[in-house]
Amino acid sequence: MVFYRVFALKSLLKLFNQIDARSITMAATPGELPDLKMMALFGFGAVLRGKPDSTIILPLYCAGVCWTLVYDTIYAHQDKEDDLRVGVKSTALRFGSSTKGWITGFGAACVTCLTISGYNAMLAWPFYPFLAAAATQMGWQILTVDISNREDCNKKFVSNKWFGALIFGGILFGRLAS
């Protein structure tokens, strides 16, 4: 249990470093990528009060990183001109005109990892229709986002609440039906 407390404290401390990190890297904030997802690892350990099953938690963690790269890149396109002016780096600047290809790959990896994690967690059948709906929602975002339109980027970014809600629902009902 001490491991999880130290792990959680370390994760929280790294979250405070997110703002400075954007001036160093073009990726989603380094503090954001691992640490919000590390809280999932912490939560998993707290629930089990034991050793996490890496065949479940590592694909779940990777899915979280890939999802972050999708929504953070869409979000970053809202203020890419400002980022250039003040010297803040982002995936929007790094990927540029090939953004849709990149986020398509990250989206596919996210859904694949969620499928693996759900299968390894032995989630029952309700998980999979929810996952399919979430994948459809993410696909809609990626296919329809206009990366040159701030309002559209914001609309797609905000719509990620539905992706998260669908995944949560799938895990919940998949577990309840197990």
Residue extents of the structural domains in the chain: 54-176
pTM: 0.79
Q: What is the pLDDT of residue 18?
A: 47
- DSSP assignment string, 46-101: HHHTS---HHHHHHHHHHHHHHHHHHHHHHHGGGHHHHHHHT---HHHHHGGGHHH
- N-term to C-term CA, the chain: 27
pLDDT digits (tens, 9 = 90+) for 104-147: 999 999 999 999 999 999 999 999 999 999 999 999 999 999 99
Q: What is the pLDDT of residue 22?
A: 47
How many whole angstroms separate alpha carbon 85 and alpha carbon 8?
36
10-residue mean pLDDT profile of the chain (178 residues): values are 57 51 51 53 53 82 92 94 88 94 98 96 96 98 97 96 95 93
**Which CATH entry fits the domain spanning 54-176: 3.10.310, 1.20.120, 3.30.200, 1.10.3470?**
1.20.120
Residue type, 145: V
Q: What is the pLDDT of residue 178?
A: 86
Token readout for 10 is: 């370390």
How many CB atoms within 10 Å of residue 175? 15
Q: What is the pLDDT of residue 59?
A: 92
